[in-house]
Amino acid sequence: MKVTWVLPGGEDVVADVAAGLNLMEAAQNNNVAGIQGECGGSLSCATCHVHVAEDWRDKAGEKGEFEEAMLEMADGDVSDASRLSCQIVMSDDLDGIRLTVPT
């Protein structure tokens, strides 16, 4: 299944991601610049902040309560599109998802 990250410079990173992997781990595995994932996915760093393309927001799901609180501390432009990518788990429904690394 494919995931595309759009980097702040406009360049795309496209990778095959297996179901069950969260999208922060997938970004680390593919050296996506700007996604650090310092807390290892335990919802306590906000360094995995991404913007989810509008067409994919429903499928990616709602932000959780703690996720919302952590996003308030995230670097980069926080908007309705913002998610913490460690909280999005790859599944068949997300094949083709596009994420932007916020500036």
* Residues in contact with ligand FES by the rule CB under 6 A: 24, 37-39, 41, 43-48, 70, 84, 86
CB of 86 to ligand FES, least distance (A): 3
For ligand FES, give the closer residue by CB, 32 or 86: 86
CB of 49 to ligand FES, least distance (A): 8
Q: How many CB atoms are closer than 10 A to CB 103?
A: 11
Rounded to whole angstroms, the Cα distance separating 102 from 40 reads 19
CB of 62 to ligand FES, least distance (A): 16
For ligand FES, give the closer residue by CB, 32 or 48: 48
Rounded to whole angstroms, the Cα distance separating 36 from 31 reads 9
Q: In Å, how far are 10, 17 from 52, measured between CA atoms?
A: 15, 16
For ligand FES, give the closer residue by CB, 10 or 79: 79
Tell me the residue ranges of DSSP E strands in 22-85.
49-52, 82-84
